Amino acid sequence: MTDSKRAGEPAQQSDLINVAQLTAQYYVLRPEAGNAEHAVKFGTSGHRGSAGRHNFNEQHILAIAQAIAEDRARNGITGPCYVGKDTHALSEPAFISVLEVLAANGVDVIVQEHNGFTPTPAISNAILVHNKKGGPLADGIVITPSHNPPEDGGIKYNPPNGGPADTNVTKVVENRANELLASGLQGVRRISLDAALASGHVKKQDLVQPFIEGLADIVDMAAIQKAGLKLGIDPLGGSGIEYWKRIAGHYKLDLTIVNDHVDQTFRFMHLDKDGAIRMDCSSECAMAGLLALRDKFDLAFANDPDYDRHGIVTPAGLMN
């Protein structure tokens, strides 16, 4: 990563993505057959790319969703698939594509009510809570490119253990998805979004409150409350803003959210070391906004867009 002279500065209009253009590219651009750069490639449990680079387009997500549907059926996973999304621009169209394919395959899907956002830990928690009850196993899909720039999209699969899928699973999904791409999506089952929502396979639930209440089972929330700490939160425009609000209210904490905006351009960010907008809560440059407020709080926190990473700020600075 090459250092930029603008690192740590607030993003300017010229740094922002064109959300409408990016969304159009998701639907209009196609991966080129035989081009390895356009293929599905799973890294840490997921595939990441961008619509403008021809590696995160509608065809990719339809193929991946079909591959996951087939793999879960092959492995006898017949419970619900919890599907969540973060606040990146490409997460919304990808979310729709996933619902259309899963419903067409007869998969029961559970999503956050009111078209809300869902952090990765909440999907993991929902899977584990469901599977502890016995019966058909649940799994999950999270649509997120993690902390990466606003133009990126990502999708990852969580098997019934709630954690990220290992390579034994992702390689099967990757290979099948690429087979489907090469065949022109022959074998992909899909219905319209309206049909998916009317099918009875897509159910809407509040995944927030069970997660909030479950925190007390693993964290001494009473001790945090009694400590009287003044806490600051910068959600970095991610999927957990509603979670922080409810945590503050449910546990009666002195907690201030310094920025509760959701903006798919992430215009409120400070530029990372290379001058890019990147929601990296481990980067002093990206965290410059919260660091400027460090004297106002005893402790302050930030998360990446899907909330599987955290940064901690003390009056002394960003903890390493």
pLDDT for 3: 86
Q: Is the pLDDT of residue 200 over 80?
A: yes
Please choose, from the candidates 262, 241, 267, the residue with its C-alpha nearest in 3D space to the C-alpha of residue 18: 267
Residue of 290, 311, 303 lying closest to 8 (CA atoms): 290
Q: Note the helical H segments in the chain.
A: 19-28, 58-74, 91-104, 120-132, 167-182, 193-198, 208-214, 221-227, 241-251, 288-291
Note the Cα 313 to chain centre separation in Å: 23
Task: Say which residues have a Cβ less than 8 Å from residue 75's Cβ, sequence separation at least 6.
Answer: none
- Span 8-34, average pLDDT: 98
pLDDT band, residue 1 (cuts 50/70/90): low
Own/partner long-range contacts of 191-196 (Cβ < 8 Å, ≥24 apart): 191/100, 191/103, 191/104, 192/100, 193/96, 193/99, 193/100, 195/103, 196/99, 196/100, 196/102, 196/103, 196/104
Report which residue type is found at 52. G
pLDDT of residue 244: 98
Query: What sign for the dihedral angle of Cα 217, 221, 222, 223?
Result: positive
Mean pLDDT of the 211-216 span: 97
* pTM for the predicted model, two decimal places: 0.96
Residue from 146, 183, 199, 283 carrying the catalytic annotation: 146
DSSP 8-state secondary structure symbol assigned to residue 10: B
Q: Is the pLDDT of residue 174 over 90?
A: yes
Token pair for 213: 């209440």
* Burial degree of 52 (CB within 10 A; 0-12, 13-18, 19+): middle
Mean per-residue pLDDT of the chain = 97
Q: Is the pLDDT of residue 45 over 80?
A: no
* pLDDT tens, position by position, 272-304: 999 999 999 999 999 999 999 999 999 999 999
CA 220, distance to chain mean position in Å, is: 27
The H or E element containing residue 206 is: none
Examine the residue annotation and report whether 199 is marked as an active-site residue of this protein: no
pLDDT at position 187, please?
Answer: 98
Q: Which domains are seen in the chain, by residue range?
A: 17-205 (3.40.120.10), 210-318 (3.40.120.10)
Q: Is pLDDT above 90 for 44?
A: no
Which pLDDT tens digit goes with each residue over 50-71?
999 999 999 999 999 999 999 9
- Region 79-103: mean pLDDT is 99
pLDDT digits (tens, 9 = 90+) for 225-249: 999 999 999 999 999 999 999 999 9
Q: What is the model's pLDDT at position 39?
A: 98
Q: Is 157 helix (H, G, I), strand (E, B) or coil?
A: strand
Tell me: pLDDT of 2 over 90: no
